[in-house]
Amino acid sequence: MKIDARTKKNGWEKIARILAEALPFLRRYRGQYFVIKYGGHAMDDGETALRFARDMVLLKQVGINPVIVHGGGPQIDAMLERLDIKSEFKGGLRVTGPATMEVVEMVLSGKVNKELVQGIRNAGGVAFGLSGKDGNLITARKVLPGGVDLGMVGEPVWVNPYILRKIVEEDAIPVVAPVAVDESGQTLNINADHAAGAIAAALKAVRFLLLTDVDGLMDPDRKLIPELSMADAQAAIDNGVATDGMIPKLQTCIDAVKGGVKGAVILNGRDPHSVLLELLTPEGTGTLISDTP
Report the distance separating Cα 139 and Cα 145, nearest Å: 18
> Which of 242, 259, 195 lies closest to 67, judged by CA?
195
Strands of 173-177's sheet in order across: 127-131, 173-177, 65-70, 33-38, 207-212, 263-268, 287-290, 227-229
Please check the confidence at residue 2 and state whether its pLDDT lies above 60: no
pLDDT at 229: 93
Per residue in 87-134, pLDDT tens? 888 866 788 999 999 999 999 999 999 999 999 999 999 999 999 999
pLDDT at 4: 45
Per residue in 215-270, pLDDT tens? 899 988 899 999 999 999 999 999 989 888 888 899 999 999 999 999 999 999 88
pLDDT at 20: 64
Catalytically active residues are 37, 40, 73, 193, 249
Hey, which of 116-125, 269-278, 281-290 has the most confident mean pLDDT? 116-125
Q: How confident is the model at residue 8 (pLDDT cuts 50, 70, 90)?
A: very low
Largest CA distance in the chain: 68
pLDDT at 44: 67
pLDDT at 114: 95
Q: What are the φ and ψ backbone dihedral angles of 275, each rounded to 5 degrees?
A: -65, -45
pTM for the predicted model, two decimal places: 0.89
Could you please report the per-residue DSSP string of 214-242? S-S-B-TTS-B--EEEHHHHHHHHHTTSS
Per residue in 10-67, pLDDT tens? 445 654 565 566 666 677 788 899 999 998 566 667 788 888 999 999 899 889 999 9
Per residue in 170-196, pLDDT tens? 999 999 999 999 999 999 999 999 999
> Which of 290, 249, 268 lies closest to 211, judged by CA?
268
Per residue in 147-171, pLDDT tens? 889 999 999 999 999 999 999 999 9
Report the distance separating Cα 79 and Cα 23, nearest Å: 44
